């Protein structure tokens, strides 16, 4: 997977969430981690990469193919990817099984039998087969996040995008979800994740994109970022994280 951004700008009512952000990953990167301080632009960049947001300016390329700027065309990009949000975004009135089946039928045109087979396959794979009948409120936070990941994986996305997937979880549930993401990465799933889980990013990611104040300050292989960052902001960020570790 090769990602490239050229002077990408996204403006929210006068606030520059992305300010001419530019970067390029190595062509063999399988897992890309977006790191940086809160409010630095990680989630916005993730949404632009996934087709959820359209930038005001700039170009994004995935494997040398530019992402469209027109809403209708961007919808195709969105449907091709799998997105997992911080707040899970599961339908509260549906159980875990139905949460996966419904998008497969309505958005991706699967038959009822195909959708059911795919949903149970993923729920089993992610350790939720015994909980398939439960609604989100009856699941733990870790189980809800795994159900959200299962729903995102169901249409076999080219790219799985994860926005702070453990931000609302306690340490035990965080470990559960990170284990799932690690297993997906080891299985070859292409992933871009925005995260504050630095030790996890160091172990799993091939490439790091570091953002601060809407700009990409560093884009390099993971080992280089953690052992020899070039950006002063990245150095300060890593120093601050290690201060009490």
- Condensed to tens digits (0 to 9), the pLDDT of residues 209-224 reads 999 999 999 999 999 9
In a domain, 111, yes or no: no
Dig out the tokens for 24 from the structure: 């390029």
User: Residue 158 gets which letter from DSSP?
Assistant: S
Complete DSSP assignment for 90-115: --TTS-HHHHHHHHHHHTT---HHHH
| 8 Å CB contact between 39 and 23 | no
Asked whether residue 147 is assigned to any structural domain, the reply reads: no
Tell me the Ramachandran region of residue 197: left when phi exceeds 0, alpha when psi lies from -120 to 50, beta otherwise: beta
Tell me whether residue 110 is in a domain.
no
pTM for the structure as a whole: 0.93
Average pLDDT over residues 93-109: 95
Q: Report the number of distinct structural domains present in the chain.
A: 1
Classify residue 134: in a domain, yes or no.
no
The reply to whether 69 falls in a domain is yes
Range of the domain at 190: 3-90+160-242
Phi, psi of 202 (to 5 degrees): -65, -35
**Residue 132 located in a structural domain:** no
The 10s digit of each residue's pLDDT in 177-218 is: 899 999 999 999 999 999 999 999 999 999 999 999 999 999
Q: Is residue 115 part of a domain?
A: no
Write the CATH number for 191.
3.40.50.300
188 within domain boundaries: yes
Question: What does the pLDDT read at residue 10?
Answer: 96
* DSSP 8-state class, residue 197: -
Query: Where are the extended beta strands (E) located within the chain?
Result: 3-12, 15-24, 31-35, 57-62, 65-66, 81-84, 159-163, 191-194, 207-212, 215-221
- pLDDT of amino acid 185: 92
């Amino acid at each position: 997977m090769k990602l490239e951004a050229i002077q990408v700008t996204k403006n929210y009512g006068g606030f520059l969430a992305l300010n001419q952000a530019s970067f390029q990953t190595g062509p063999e990167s399988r897992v890309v981690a977006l790191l940086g301080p809160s409010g630095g632009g990680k989630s916005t960049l993730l949404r632009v990469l996934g087709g959820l947001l359209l930038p005001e300016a700039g170009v994004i390329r995935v494997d040398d193919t530019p992402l469209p700027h027109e809403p209708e065309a961007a919808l195709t990009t969105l449907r091709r990817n799998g997105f997992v949000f911080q707040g899970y975004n599961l339908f509260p009135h549906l159980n875990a099984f139905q949460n996966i089946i419904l998008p497969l039928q309505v958005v991706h045109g699967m038959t009822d039998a195909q959708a059911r087979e795919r949903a149970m396959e993923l729920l089993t794979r992610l350790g939720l087969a015994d909980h398939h009948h439960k609604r989100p409120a009856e699941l733990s936070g870790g189980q809800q996040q795994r159900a959200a990941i299962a729903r995102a994986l169901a249409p076999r996305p080219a790219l799985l995008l994860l926005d702070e997937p453990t931000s609302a979880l306690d340490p035990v549930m965080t470990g559960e979800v990170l284990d799932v993401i690690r297993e997906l990465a080891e299985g070859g799933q292409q992933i871009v994740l925005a995260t504050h889980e630095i030790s996890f990013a160091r172990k799993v990611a091939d490439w790091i994109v570091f953002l601060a104040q809407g700009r990409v300050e560093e884009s390099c292989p993971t080992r280089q970022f953690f052992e020899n960052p070039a950006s002063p902001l990245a150095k300060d960020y890593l120093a601050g994280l290690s201060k009490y570790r």
